[in-house]
Amino acid sequence: MFHRVLIANRGEIAIRVMRACRETGIETVAIYSAADAQAPHVEHADTAVCVGAPPSAESYLNIPRIIEAARTTGADAVHPGYGFLAENASFARAVEEAGMVFIGPSPESIAMMGDKTLARRTVARAGVPVVPAEENPPQRSAQLAAAARRLGYPLIIKAAAGGGGKGMRIVRDETELLPAFSAAGREALGAFGDGRLFLERYLERPRHVEIQILADNSGTVVHLGERECSVQRRHQKIIEETPSPAVDPALRQQMTEAAVAVARCSGYRNAGTVEFLLDADGRFYFLEMNTRLQVEHPITEWVTGIDIVQAQLRLAAG
């Protein structure tokens, strides 16, 4: 097991990871911006290092400073928490190149699942259902309109590099298409630095069901059941519950087998969440994979009795 872990985050999730480390006998290193010198996560850590000025770009997103903090404190692993750099393939790669263990998936898996169109193609080859889509829509208006008609309305415009509802627009007829496509592209470029978009058939009022998985470094993948997260506002989850009231044993088996297949086909390791849309007829479709610990992981822990963060530490340590 690791001797010392740097947590590349702040706030509640940093404290959560520190608790798991402490219960496993691992020392912890906190990072903080100049504004957070007296923050609770700094007080909870065994060691703390200031990594920059208050703006996140100069501190919690400053990869060279964080790597240097890990080196100077003798950390042998880095846990990214959630948010900030948790799904940043370049950060995971920098940690590994510095001779430390990134407590999470490989940089290749992060990059693959972070690209929504590449992720769709990858899981579809593994036999996992995906919503019909136009993955490379033409940019010219006439051709774009023709592609949308082939797909069928209503449809949803999504950012290829996106998540969290950014760069998304629902389009119900052709008069809305071009303005929505332009607006989504601008938003995606501003939010992710990548303006690529794709069109997807829009499912009316689907349920949103996600499967928690754990995977070791040798290809073994297990699931910890599902979480229901259909109550949302602006594509942001508000309420989660487990098990889902909409999932019976037969459907649960199908969905969890699909989630395990997603993890395997992407060479996944450590903890992750596979998200599905579930329609009124009981058909489910791959939505995306979150290549990190989720905010809502505690409800799965309460139901299963498994400490997911401690599992992350053990999986990363082999």
Query: Of 201, 224, 253, which residue constitutes the final position of a domain?
Result: 201
Same domain, 212 and 309: yes
Same domain, 139 and 230: no
Same domain, 114 and 214: yes
Same domain, 228 and 304: yes
Same domain, 237 and 251: yes
CATH code for position 16: 3.40.50.20
**Rounded Cα distance, 185 and 207, in Å:** 26
- What domain count does the chain have? 3
Look at 296 and 235; give whichever has higher pLDDT: 296
The pLDDT, as a whole number, for residue 234 is: 81
Three-state DSSP state, 163: coil
pLDDT at 131 over 90: yes
CATH code for position 224: 3.30.470.20
Which residue in this structure is represented by tokens 């200031």? 50
Per-residue pLDDT tens over the stretch 224-277? 999 999 999 887 889 999 999 999 999 999 999 999 999 999 999 999 999 999
The pLDDT, as a whole number, for residue 162 is: 78
Same domain, 310 and 239: yes
Query: Of 101, 121, 146, which residue constitutes the final position of a domain?
Result: 101
Across 2-14, average pLDDT: 98
Tell me whether residue 65 is one of the annotated catalytic residues. no
The pLDDT, as a whole number, for residue 105 is: 98
Q: Which residues contact 203 (CB under 8 A, 6 or more apart)?
A: 131, 277, 279, 285
Range of the domain at 65: 4-101
Per-residue pLDDT tens over the stretch 51-104? 999 999 999 999 999 999 999 999 999 999 999 999 999 999 999 999 999 999
CATH code for position 191: 3.30.1490.20
- 24 exposed, middle or buried (CB, 10 Å; 0-12, 13-18, 19+)? middle
pTM of the predicted model over 0.85:
yes
Across 110-132, average pLDDT: 95
Catalytic residue among 16, 169, 227, 292: 292
The pLDDT, as a whole number, for residue 231 is: 94
pLDDT at 139 over 90: no
The pLDDT, as a whole number, for residue 12 is: 97
Query: Of 144, 170, 201, which residue constitutes the final position of a domain?
Result: 201
pLDDT at 303 over 90: yes
Same domain, 216 and 295: yes
Same domain, 13 and 59: yes
Same domain, 215 and 243: yes
Based on DSSP, count helices (H) and strands (E) in the chain, helices before strands. Answer: 11, 14
Same domain, 124 and 237: yes
pLDDT at 32 over 80: yes
The pLDDT, as a whole number, for residue 235 is: 78
The pLDDT, as a whole number, for residue 163 is: 74
The pLDDT, as a whole number, for residue 295 is: 95
Same domain, 238 and 310: yes
Same domain, 228 and 150: no
Per-residue pLDDT tens over the stretch 178-221? 999 999 999 999 988 899 999 999 999 999 999 999 999 999 99
Per-residue pLDDT tens over the stretch 157-188? 999 887 777 889 999 999 999 999 999 999 99
